[in-house]
Amino acid sequence: MFLTKKSLPRRTLLRGAGASLALPLLDAMIPSRTAQAATVASDTSLRRLGYVYMPMGCDDTRWMLPGETLDELSPILQPLAPVRDNVCVISGLELRNAYPGTHATSNAAFLSAATAKRTESTDYYLGTTADQIAAQQLGLRTQLPSLEMAMDLLSIVGQCDNGYACVYQNNLSWSSPTTPLPAEAHPRLVFETLFGEGGTTKERQEQLARRKSLLDSVAADLAQLNRQLGTGDRNKIQDYLDSAREVERRIEQAERQTKESPLPDLDRPEGVPADYGDHAKLMFDLQVLALQGDVTRVITFQLARETSNRTYPQIGVSEPHHPLTHHGNNPEKIAKVAKINQYHVSLFSYFLKRLKETREAGGSLLDHSLYLYGSGMGNPNVHDHQNLPIIVAGGAAGKMRGGRHIQLDKPGPLANLHLTLLNKVGVNVDAFADSTGHVHGLFDI
């Protein structure tokens, strides 16, 4: 398709009854042979930053890689095989400010690298998290500055862990030292946050009643837009809408199953898939849609809450996660912890494959994103914060040299990685928390 200097605006929305749908990046949004084309390409090269939190550390013996490459993956990291060229594993990072070593401080320090004030009341104090520093700049051009997601929606208040308020375990993201940002675990509410027009619960219910589907409601706008686009762009939009329709179908199916089930799962919000893996994949697919539509460029996702007693019968682990991590060097318990660790990594690998398969102008979603996966705890049996399990995933636009295991010469603060990633996506800060510099060798200069 030949494009003139009059291009389709990047923030073009399709509007319907109680809904608006952002579009993926299209060729028609990038004018050919103009300076603006270079500007748009640069703007989308690396402007997405995400974080996935794995609770309660890991079995280091089954996580640690044998060499400097990912040619031979350790047992826990085996699921990364299909995307090994797009990931780096980093060993030697620590969170000194997470001590005295609790579940609360592990979660709280992961994105803040700050010391949590010890309190059981509402006078909690932490620090602004890395994702929110990114959102202050990257979020200026999107519908949502950031998106906070979780798998558990627990209304726990008061003391949760050794004198620390539950707010430290419940929230990964803090927009200021005194302002935690709650995460959403219900797929329907995330879907409506991304594509609905908001309002009260009653108003959202009325919107749902007025429309059979988000996609049906924008059909008129879509038909008009398609007449302006070339075949390639029409195919991109169709793929995007097909993905959105499939996500919506799965949400509706989960809601029907919840109503029909006589045994509600107390570890999950009402109206989500009964199977943990189905729920997690649905939440990851919602992230794909959010990034593809440029609804937000900053996302945090808590795979499970610290001290979670969730069981994983789908992988043969019927005992609760948290008690297993206090294994006392029992080989059977350690092996089960490793199975949970591997399962969580497999879900992250699923997400990375989805990003890699989702094409957009100039490459794929993974090419234009950076994601940090890891935990604020190292060895859960002793609650230490050394040699944290950390994975960085990204694509060619950031010139990340994947397929490698980066082993630091000496222990370094996790804040160094946060600083490196912030700078890489164009958020120019000189320091972050207790950072002492950058993590060298992660990106080609």
Q: What share of the chain is helix, strand, coil (3-state, %, to 5)?
A: 40, 15, 40
> What range defines the domain where residue 205 resides?
192-271
68/166 same-domain check: yes
**Which residues, at least 6 apart from 19, have a Cβ–Cβ distance to it below 8 Å?**
195, 196, 197, 207, 211, 214, 217, 218
Report which secondary-structure segment, H or E, holds 208. helix 201-210
pLDDT of 211 reads 47
167/301 same-domain check: yes
For residue 165, list its beta bridge partners: 159
Residue 132's Cβ-count burial label (10 Å; 0-12, 13-18, 19+) is: buried
159/59 same-domain check: yes
Cβ burial 252-282 (10 Å sphere, 16+ → b, else e):
eebbeebeeeeeebebbbebbbeebeebbbb
333/372 same-domain check: yes
Sign of dihedral through CA atoms 245, 46, 347, 56?
negative
216/140 same-domain check: no
Pair 172, 373: CB distance under 8 Å: no
Tell whether 36 is covered by a domain: no
**Can you give the pTM of this predicted structure?**
0.83
Position of tokens 């003391």?
159
CATH code at position 381: 3.40.720
Q: List phi, psi (to 5°) of 398.
A: -90, 0
Tell whether 120 is covered by a domain: yes
* CA atoms of 413 and 388, how far apart (whole Å): 10
Tell whether 303 is covered by a domain: yes
Tell whether 29 is covered by a domain: no
Torsion of CA 236, 238, 243, 248, to 10 degrees: 140
59/127 same-domain check: yes
67/84 same-domain check: yes
pLDDT of 435 reads 97
Q: List phi, psi (to 5°) of 423.
A: -60, -35
220/130 same-domain check: no
Tell whether 126 is covered by a domain: yes
425/340 same-domain check: yes
Residue 183: name the closest of 161, 153, 157, 146 by CA: 153
Tell whether 32 is covered by a domain: no
Pair 54, 265: CB distance under 8 Å: no
Quote the distance between the C-alpha of residue 271 and its chain's center: 21
Angle formed at CA 142 by CA 294 and CA 288, multiple of 5 degrees: 25
Quote the distance between the C-alpha of residue 227 and its chain's center: 35
Structural domain count, the chain: 2
161/265 same-domain check: no
Tell whether 19 is covered by a domain: no
pLDDT of 230 reads 76
Pair 433, 413: CB distance under 8 Å: yes
Tell whether 444 is covered by a domain: yes
How many Cβ atoms from other residues are within 10 Å of residue 155's Cβ? Answer: 7
Each residue's pLDDT, cut to its tens digit, for the chain (445 residues) gives: 333 444 666 556 555 545 566 666 676 666 544 444 444 444 446 689 999 999 999 999 999 998 999 999 999 999 999 999 999 999 999 999 999 989 999 999 999 999 999 998 889 999 999 999 999 999 988 889 999 999 987 655 445 777 899 999 999 999 999 999 999 999 988 988 887 654 555 655 555 554 455 566 666 677 777 777 777 777 767 777 776 777 777 777 766 765 555 444 444 455 678 899 999 999 999 999 999 989 999 999 999 999 999 999 999 999 999 999 999 999 999 999 999 999 999 999 999 999 999 988 778 999 999 999 999 999 999 999 999 999 999 987 778 889 999 999 999 999 999 999 999 999 999 999 999 999 998 986 5
